[in-house]
Structure 1
Amino acid sequence: MTLTPQWLDELRSRITLSTLIGRTVKITRAGREYKACCPFHNEKTPSFTINDEKGFYHCFGCGAHGDAIRWMTDQRGLSFMDAVKELAAEAGMEVPAPDPRAAKKAEEQASLRDVMQAAAEWFAQQLGSSNGAPAREYLAKRGISEATRKAFGFGLAPDSRSALKEALKTFPTAMLVEAGMLIAVDDKEPYDRFRGRLMIPIRDARGRVIAFGGRILGDGEPKYLNSPDTPLFDKGRTLYNLDKASPASRRTNRIVVVEGYMDVIALAEAGITDAVAPLGTALTENQLAMLWRMVPVPILCFDGDSAGQKAAMRAAMRALPLLRPGFSLAFATLPAGQDPDDLVRAKGAEGFAAILEDAQPLVERLWAHEVAAGPLATPEERAALKTRLLAHADVIEDADVRHHYREAFREKLDALFARAPAGRGPRVPWAPQPGRGGRRFAPDPRLQPPGEETRALGQTGIAGPLAAALLGGLLRYPQAIRRNEEALCRLAIPDSGDAELLGLMLDIANAREGLDCEGLLAILEPMKVYNRAMTLLRADGMHFSFNRRLEGEEVDKAREIALRDLDEYIGVLVTQPEIRARLAEATADYMRTMDDEGHARQQKLRAMDEDLTRRLAALSDSRSQ
Structure 2
Amino acid sequence: MVGRFDERFVEEVKSRLRPSDVIGRTVKLRKQGQEYVGLSPFNKEKTPSFYVNDAKGMFFDFSSGKTGDLITFLQETERLTFAEAVERLAGEAGVPLPAVDPRGVEQEKKRQGLADWLELAAQWFEAELRRPAGREARAYLERRGLPEAEWGRFRLGFAPAKDARGGRTALKDYLVAKGAQPGALVETGLLVAPEDGGAPFDRFRDRIVFPILDARGRVVSFGGRAMDPQARAKYLNGPETVVFHKGHHLYGLSEARKILATAKGDEDPPLVVVEGYMDVIACQRAGVPAVAAMGTALGEDQMELLWRHHPEPTLCFDGDRAGRQAAARAIDRALPLLKAGRSFRFAIVEGGKDPDDVLREQGPAALKAQLAKTTPFAEALFRREHDEAQPLDTPERKTALKVRLRKLAASIPDADLAAAYKEDLLGRFDQLSPRAASVYEPGAAGRALSNHGWAKRRAAAAGATPEARSAAQALQQSARPLAAALAKAALLDPAIIDDSIELVGSHGFGDQKLDRIAHELVQLRYEAEEAEFEVVMRRLQARGVDAAMIARMDRDASRAGVAAPFLDPTAARDRARLLWRQAFDLLMQLEALERAVEAAVQDVARDPTALATLAPLKAERDHLRRLINSDWANGEDGPVAVLPH
TM-score (norm 1): 0.60
Q: Give 2:198's aligned residue.
A: 188
Note the alpha carbon deviations across 1:513-533, whole angstroms, 9 max, x for none.
xxxxxxxxxxxxxxxxxxxxx
Q: Give 2:420's aligned residue.
A: 404
Rounded to whole Å, the distance in 2 between the matches of 1:129 and 1:77 is 35
Counterpart residue type for residue 108 of structure 2: A
1:199–1:28: structure 2 CA closer, same or farther, 3 Å change rule? closer
Q: Give 1:293's aligned residue.
A: 308
1:413–1:222: structure 2 CA closer, same or farther, 3 Å change rule? same
Note the alpha carbon deviations across 1:123-172, whole angstroms, 9 max, x for none.
22322222222222222222221112232222222223222222222311
Tell me, yes or no, if the aligned pair for 1:2 and 1:98 is still in contact at 8 Å. Answer: no
Counterpart residue type for residue 159 of structure 2: A
Residues 137-286 of structure 1 correspond to what in structure 2 (within 5 A)? 137-160=139-162, 161-170=168-177, 171-186=180-195, 187-218=197-228, 219-250=230-261, 251=263, 253-269=269-285, 271-286=286-301
Question: What is the Cα deviation at residue 367 of structure 1?
Answer: 0.9
1:163–1:79: structure 2 CA closer, same or farther, 3 Å change rule? closer
Rounded to whole Å, the distance in 2 between the matches of 1:379 and 1:368 is 20
Residues 439-458 of structure 1 correspond to what in structure 2 (within 5 A)? none
Rounded to whole Å, the distance in 2 between the matches of 1:130 and 1:192 is 19
Note the alpha carbon deviations across 1:574-613, whole angstroms, 9 max, x for none.
xxxxxxxxxxxxxxxxxxxx963579xxxxxxxxxxxxxx
Question: What is the Cα deviation at residue 378 of structure 1?
Answer: 0.9
- Greater mean deviation of Cα atoms: 101-110 or 67-76: 67-76
Rounded to whole Å, the distance in 2 between the matches of 1:63 and 1:51 is 19
Tell me, yes or no, if the aligned pair for 1:69 and 1:84 is still in contact at 8 Å. Answer: yes
Q: Give 2:121's aligned residue.
A: 119
Q: Give 1:465's aligned residue.
A: none
Question: What is the Cα deviation at residue 48 of structure 1?
Answer: 5.6
Tell me, yes or no, if the aligned pair for 2:20 and 2:53 is still in contact at 8 Å. Answer: no
Rounded to whole Å, the distance in 2 between the matches of 1:386 and 1:141 is 51
Counterpart residue type for residue 417 of structure 1: S
In the comparison of the two structures, how many residue pairs are matched? Answer: 426
Residues 363-402 of structure 1 correspond to what in structure 2 (within 5 A)? 363-374=378-389, 375-402=391-418
Counterpart residue type for residue 182 of structure 1: L
Residues 217-616 of structure 1 correspond to what in structure 2 (within 5 A)? 217-218=227-228, 219-250=230-261, 251=263, 253-269=269-285, 271-374=286-389, 375-418=391-434, 596-597=608-609
1:27–1:314: structure 2 CA closer, same or farther, 3 Å change rule? farther
Note the alpha carbon deviations across 1:539-564, whole angstroms, 9 max, x for none.
xxxxxxxxxxxxxxxxxxxxxxxxxx
Tell me, yes or no, if the aligned pair for 2:269 and 2:289 is still in contact at 8 Å. Answer: no
Rounded to whole Å, the distance in 2 between the matches of 1:327 and 1:15 is 20
Counterpart residue type for residue 213 of structure 1: G
Partner SS, residue 347 of structure 2: strand
Question: What is the Cα deviation at residue 330 of structure 1?
Answer: 0.6
Rounded to whole Å, the distance in 2 between the matches of 1:195 and 1:35 is 47
Question: What is the Cα deviation at residue 10 of structure 1?
Answer: 5.0
Counterpart residue type for residue 224 of structure 1: Y
Tell me, yes or no, if the aligned pair for 1:257 and 1:298 is still in contact at 8 Å. Answer: yes
Partner SS, residue 178 of structure 1: helix
Question: What is the Cα deviation at residue 91 of structure 1?
Answer: 5.2
Tell me, yes or no, if the aligned pair for 2:193 and 2:199 is still in contact at 8 Å. Answer: yes
Task: Mark the structure with the bigger radius of gyration.
Answer: 1
Counterpart residue type for residue 244 of structure 1: E
Tell me, yes or no, if the aligned pair for 2:207 and 2:226 is still in contact at 8 Å. Answer: yes
Q: Which has the higher contact order (CA 8 A, sep 6+)?
A: 2
1:139–1:44: structure 2 CA closer, same or farther, 3 Å change rule? closer
1:56–1:195: structure 2 CA closer, same or farther, 3 Å change rule? closer
Question: What is the Cα deviation at residue 14 of structure 1?
Answer: 5.6
Rounded to whole Å, the distance in 1 between the matches of 2:103 and 2:339 is 38
Q: CA RMSD in A?
A: 3.7
Tell me, yes or no, if the aligned pair for 2:75 and 2:85 is still in contact at 8 Å. Answer: yes
Tell me, yes or no, if the aligned pair for 2:297 and 2:326 is still in contact at 8 Å. Answer: yes
Partner SS, residue 393 of structure 2: coil
- Greater mean deviation of Cα atoms: 124-133 or 326-335: 124-133
Question: What is the Cα deviation at residue 57 of structure 1?
Answer: 5.7
Partner SS, residue 370 of structure 2: helix
Tell me, yes or no, if the aligned pair for 1:38 and 1:59 is still in contact at 8 Å. Answer: no
Question: What is the Cα deviation at residue 368 of structure 1?
Answer: 0.8
Tell me, yes or no, if the aligned pair for 1:50 and 1:57 is still in contact at 8 Å. Answer: yes
Partner SS, residue 366 of structure 1: helix
Rounded to whole Å, the distance in 2 between the matches of 1:147 and 1:22 is 33
Counterpart residue type for residue 425 of structure 2: F
Note the alpha carbon deviations across 1:367-417, whole angstroms, 9 max, x for none.
111111131111111111112222221121222211111111121112222
Rounded to whole Å, the distance in 2 between the matches of 1:201 and 1:45 is 34
Question: What is the Cα deviation at residue 283 of structure 1?
Answer: 0.9
Counterpart residue type for residue 136 of structure 2: P
**2:144 matched to 1:134?**
no
Q: Give 2:642's aligned residue.
A: none
Q: Give 2:507's aligned residue.
A: none
Q: Give 1:95's aligned residue.
A: 97
Tell me, yes or no, if the aligned pair for 2:300 and 2:334 is still in contact at 8 Å. Answer: yes
Rounded to whole Å, the distance in 2 between the matches of 1:255 and 1:143 is 23
- Greater mean deviation of Cα atoms: 273-282 or 62-71: 62-71
Partner SS, residue 212 of structure 2: strand
Residues 13-162 of structure 1 correspond to what in structure 2 (within 5 A)? 15-17=16-18, 35-36=35-36, 38=38, 50-51=53-54, 54-56=56-58, 67=69, 69=71, 84-85=86-87, 87-89=89-91, 93-160=95-162, 161-162=168-169
Question: What is the Cα deviation at residue 286 of structure 1?
Answer: 1.5
Rounded to whole Å, the distance in 1 between the matches of 2:78 and 2:331 is 43
Tell me, yes or no, if the aligned pair for 1:256 and 1:301 is still in contact at 8 Å. Answer: yes
Note the alpha carbon deviations across 1:78-130, whole angstroms, 9 max, x for none.
98766644654565543234444333322322221221122222222322222
Gaps of 5+ in 2: 163-167, 441-605, 612-645
Tell me, yes or no, if the aligned pair for 2:272 and 2:288 is still in contact at 8 Å. Answer: no
Q: Give 1:462's aligned residue.
A: none
Counterpart residue type for residue 143 of structure 2: K
Question: What is the Cα deviation at residue 213 of structure 1?
Answer: 0.7
Rounded to whole Å, the distance in 2 between the matches of 1:108 and 1:328 is 37
Partner SS, residue 198 of structure 2: coil
1:93–1:12: structure 2 CA closer, same or farther, 3 Å change rule? closer
Question: What is the Cα deviation at residue 3 of structure 1?
Answer: 2.5
Rounded to whole Å, the distance in 1 between the matches of 2:99 and 2:82 is 16
Tell me, yes or no, if the aligned pair for 1:37 and 1:44 is still in contact at 8 Å. Answer: no
**2:15 matched to 1:5?**
no
Tell me, yes or no, if the aligned pair for 1:135 and 1:198 is still in contact at 8 Å. Answer: yes
Question: What is the Cα deviation at residue 27 of structure 1?
Answer: 9.3
Counterpart residue type for residue 215 of structure 2: A
1:29–1:400: structure 2 CA closer, same or farther, 3 Å change rule? farther
1:317–1:28: structure 2 CA closer, same or farther, 3 Å change rule? farther
1:87–1:205: structure 2 CA closer, same or farther, 3 Å change rule? closer
Rounded to whole Å, the distance in 2 between the matches of 1:166 and 1:64 is 34
